[in-house]
Amino acid sequence: MSKISLIIQREYLTRIRKKSFIIMSVLGPLIFAAYVLIPMYFATLEDKEEKIMLVIDESKLFTEYRADGPEFVIAGTDYLKFQVVEGVPIETFREGFDESGYYGILFIPANILASESSLIYSTKQTSVEISQYLERSMDSEIEHLKLAQHEIKDLERILAEVETSINVRNIKWTKDGKTQESNTGVVMGLGYLSGMMIFFFIFFFGSQVMRGVIEEKVSRIIEVIVSSVKPFQLMMGKIIGVGLVGLTQFLIWMVLSALLVTGLKAAFFPELNRTPTEQVVASDLFEQGNGDQGAMSPLEEIPEVGDLDMAQEIFTSLKSINAGVMIAAFLFYFIFGYLLYAAMFAVIGSAVDNETDTQQMIFPVILPLILGIYVMISAINNPDNALSFWFSIIPFTSPVVMMVRIPFGVPWWQVALSGSLLVGTFLGMTWIAGKVYRTGILMYGKKASYKEIWKWLRYSS
Amino acid sequence: MNRASELSGANLISASSVVKDFSGHRALNQVSMEVPEGSVYGLLGPNGAGKTTLLRIINQITAPDQGSIHFKGQPIGPEHRPMIGYLPEERGLYAKMKVGEQAVYLAQLKGLSKQEAIKRLKIWFQKFEIGAWWNKKVEELSKGMAQKVQFITTVLHEPQLLIFDEPFSGFDPINVNLIKQEILRMKEQGATIIFSTHNMASVEELCDHITLINASEVVLQGEISEIRENYHADKYLVSFEGDPDALSRGLDSRFELLNLEKNGMGRQATIRLKEGEGSGPLIKNLVEITEIKSFQEILPSMNDIFIQVVNDAIQKKGS
């Protein structure tokens, strides 16, 4: 067995056998799922506590008189009930309302049609969902009332007829004139996810390479190893071994996440769909997941029960993105982006004697990567402007930025240029890193600095 | 050329005019060294003299700026790595890795197959009575225990050349003895051994050749017996019977009486020959004035030579 494969094997096996790897492999998707599902779960939890809201309706527009007494026209939900009170001034409730057990008092003034406002008196802040539910319900109730005043015949039928929901669909023409349908949100989301994933992968596993180098240096085993193998072999073996660990972890996450999300959604979502908070929660998620308009949350990749149209649209969109190209590009930028940065992380590791010294040296290295993340976020909206173009060509940012451009379609020559520059820079960087590394690993007690690294670079060997 | 290499006709390692610079500091200056095959070669020198740099160059950890290293007459290259075992002064193993697994890994890097490595390790672990450590992590071992493991990994692939940098530091006297015996056994089996040390007693005990490096330059080199001969100070220890006054009065002016004492062995005198005198006239002189019981040359210890040579070199540089 060749020496470099022995090194790769050791780096790989010692890492995947670690408890932390196994824990992270299992917890990663759980944390991810928890991040998505816990807010939902809390939303449902809060709702399950039954709340009774008193209603004082001075307008009388919202009160129906039935045999068993006055009834609020707006239906309660599973967890929110209304109880109409009449002939009691609101002031009587002020004292001791907190102990009464009622959630609040909805006060509808007599002039609601003109003022378009009502009040909720309560000892606590009313939740957003309840406010929104009331607003929506009262809106539509008043709209109906206003329409009814016009005394239009067949009002119900007309209303049903005019109800419209516009859906903007995006049809792309490819160069050879074929049409493709795509959902911009899905495309953006996919690019965003890939870019972010590459960023985290580079950062997380690049740091692991650095720590591995420091470990060998601090434990002093380095001198024994480099008397058996070339420093370059050791460095490359470590970079490749750690990279394979990353790929393995990534694979485990993908499989587990898919299983977990599918499973949990099957268990939770039908129920969620029935609650009045569904809309709110969904839109919350939408914003939380992305921070930017339009991108999708990963959950939405999976078809929802009772929302087949949306699911179908996503699937058509996913099909419109050439899956082969996407996966190939992802793996390419994933791997070479990592390799490029891992070489730099290895240099930092070789230049220091302990981990605390790495802080100020890491920053200049990851600066371009962070810049890449900012450009990526802007590139989601402007995949073809000059900024996006240049940052997807420059090798230090291209792994992150190019990934959001690819789903939108990028001329092949740009991909080729960006790709070959990345590979070229990786080779050059690795060559330089090897030179610095072999000097650095044997240097102790030097103040780590880029000036020192520059000096080492010029040593003959 | 020294005698041993003439006899065997081969040097395992020959370094010629090696120069190594580190940013303004010359670590090695025109260092040449011939290590005869089958010898135990001592590389001596004060701290910071350049010993470790030279050892690293022989191990191909760093390359020389000028000069060359030959292994059995061939320019040294990657193919020679498996033929060398190196125990650096700063010991180290992967702390989180299990002892057995780690030893197998290091042996594999030196070209042994996994099966062969395990087979040999089992024998060594038994010999050193550390079989129970196989599945322990290195961080659970004491420093001395870890040193034993590292010693085994250095010699496991039975290299033709063994390089030990301060092999005895960190061992207790019992283990020092164990290691010494192993080194001598490996010499008998035909291995060549270079070791760097400050411990002059072990140099006299084990080495047949030395190179003394001071301030990046070779200041003394050769076979130990020859060196001690060259550094003899023309001093003789004489045991005698009779009147000490008679001896001091009767001693010729060509000889200088340094010391006169009486101890359990009887009376002893330390006498130095003045410039250009031989030991023959001294014996003749002594026979006339006293009854000689024994007569022997006082050879300097390697420790004395080390201190003298290094001090001379410092003075020479200073002047």
Per-residue pLDDT, B33:
93
Q: Which residues neighbour A38 within 8 Å (Cβ) at sequence distance 6 or greater?
A: none
Per-residue pLDDT, B9:
56
Per-residue pLDDT, A303:
40
Comparison of pLDDT for B317 and A182, the residue scoring more: B317
For B87-116, give the DSSP string: E-SS----TTSBHHHHHHHHHHHTT--HHH
Q: In B, which residues are within 8 Å of A446 by CB distance? A: none
Residue A275 has a CB neighbour count (10 Å cut-off) of 19
Helix, strand, or coil (residue B57):
helix
Q: Which contacts of B181-185 are long-range, i.e. CB under 8 A and separated by 24 or more positions?
A: B182/B151, B182/B155, B183/B40
Q: In B, which residues are within 8 Å of A3 by CB distance? A: 109
3.40.190.10, 1.10.10.410, 2.40.50.140, 3.40.50.2300: CATH of A51-153: 3.40.190.10
pLDDT tens track for B298-316: 888 888 888 888 888 888 8
Look up tokens 């006060």; give the residue. Answer: A107
Pick from A454, A434, A450: nearest CA to A234:
A434
The answer, for B81 touching chain A at a CB cutoff of 8 Å, is yes
Average pLDDT, chain B: 87
Q: Between β-strands B266-273 and A179-182, what pairing exists: parallel, antiparallel or unpaired?
A: unpaired
Q: How far is CA B54 from CA A95, B44, B164, B213, B302, in A?
A: 92, 11, 12, 10, 21
Comparison of pLDDT for A268 and A233, the residue scoring more: A233
Share of chain A above pLDDT 90, in %: 19
Q: How far is CA B75 from CA A423, B158, B192, in A?
A: 35, 21, 18
Q: Name the residue ranges covered by the structural domains of chain B.
A: 3-229, 233-297
Q: How far is B207 from chain A (nearest CA, A)?
A: 24
Per-residue pLDDT, A279:
38
What is the rounded CA–CA span in Å between residue A129 and residue A135?
A: 10
Cβ pair B233, B305 in contact under 8 A? no
- Single-letter code of the amino acid located at B86: Y
Cβ pair B91:A14 closer than 8 A: no
Lookup: tokens for A364: 């200049």
The DSSP letter of residue A75 is P
Q: In B, which residues are within 8 Å of A16 by CB distance? A: none
pLDDT tens track for B124-165: 999 888 888 899 999 998 888 888 999 999 999 999 999 999
Helix, strand, or coil (residue A443):
coil
Cβ pair A225:B109 closer than 8 A: yes
Q: Which residues neighbour A337 within 8 Å (Cβ) at sequence distance 6 or greater?
A: A198, A201, A202, A398, A399, A400, A422
Cβ pair A375, A401 in contact under 8 A? yes
Q: In A, which residues are within 8 Å of B25 by CB distance? A: none
> What residue of B is the nearest CA neighbor of A13?
B97
Per-residue pLDDT, B30:
93
Per-residue pLDDT, A317:
59
Share of chain B above pLDDT 70, in %: 96
Comparison of pLDDT for A313 and B104, the residue scoring more: B104
Choose the most confident range, by mean pLDDT, from A400-404, B11-15, B43-47, B202-206: B11-15
**Torsion angles phi and psi, residue A188, rounded to 5:** -60, -45
- Give mean pLDDT, residues B60-86: 91
Q: How far is CA B295 from CA B263, B279, B282, in A?
A: 16, 10, 10
**Torsion angles phi and psi, residue A67, rounded to 5:** -60, -40
pLDDT band at A183 (very low <50, low <70, confident <90, very high): low
Per-residue pLDDT, A35:
64
Average pLDDT, chain A: 78
Look up tokens 């917890």; give the residue. Answer: A27
Cβ pair A415, A406 in contact under 8 A? yes
Per-residue pLDDT, A289:
39
> What residue of B is the nearest CA neighbor of A234?
B109
3.30.70, 3.40.140, 3.40.50, 1.10.1070: CATH of B233-297: 3.30.70
Per-residue pLDDT, B299:
82
Q: How far is B203 from chain A (nearest CA, A)?
A: 24
Per-residue pLDDT at B65 exceeds 80: yes
Lookup: tokens for A169: 């669909």
Comparison of pLDDT for A277 and A461, the residue scoring more: A461
The answer, for B106 touching chain A at a CB cutoff of 8 Å, is yes
Comparison of pLDDT for B276 and B32, the residue scoring more: B32
Per-residue pLDDT at B34 exceeds 60: yes
Question: H/E element holding B15?
Answer: strand B11-22
Q: In B, which residues are within 8 Å of A222 by CB distance? A: 92
Pick from B188, B134, B162, B212: nearest CA to B12:
B162
pLDDT band at B84 (very low <50, low <70, confident <90, very high): very high
pLDDT tens track for A74-97: 888 777 888 888 878 888 888 878
pLDDT band at B37 (very low <50, low <70, confident <90, very high): very high
pLDDT tens track for A249-308: 888 888 887 787 777 767 765 544 443 344 334 444 444 434 343 334 444 444 444 444
Per-residue pLDDT at B174 exceeds 80: yes
The answer, for A10 touching chain B at a CB cutoff of 8 Å, is yes
pLDDT tens track for B248-293: 888 888 888 888 888 776 788 888 888 777 788 888 888 888 888 8
- Give mean pLDDT, residues A214-223: 90
Q: Which of B61, B94, B96 sits opposite A223 (nearest CB)?
A: B61
pLDDT tens track for A308-355: 455 555 556 555 566 677 788 888 999 999 999 999 999 999 888 888
Per-residue pLDDT, A281:
41
ipTM of this predicted structure: 0.81
Q: B3-229 has which CATH code?
A: 3.40.50.300
What is the rounded CA–CA span in Å between residue A406 and residue A322?
A: 10
Per-residue pLDDT, A300:
40
Comparison of pLDDT for A191 and A167, the residue scoring more: A191
Choose the most confident range, by mean pLDDT, from A95-104, A142-151, B9-18: B9-18
Residues of chain A with CATH 3.40.190.10: 51-153
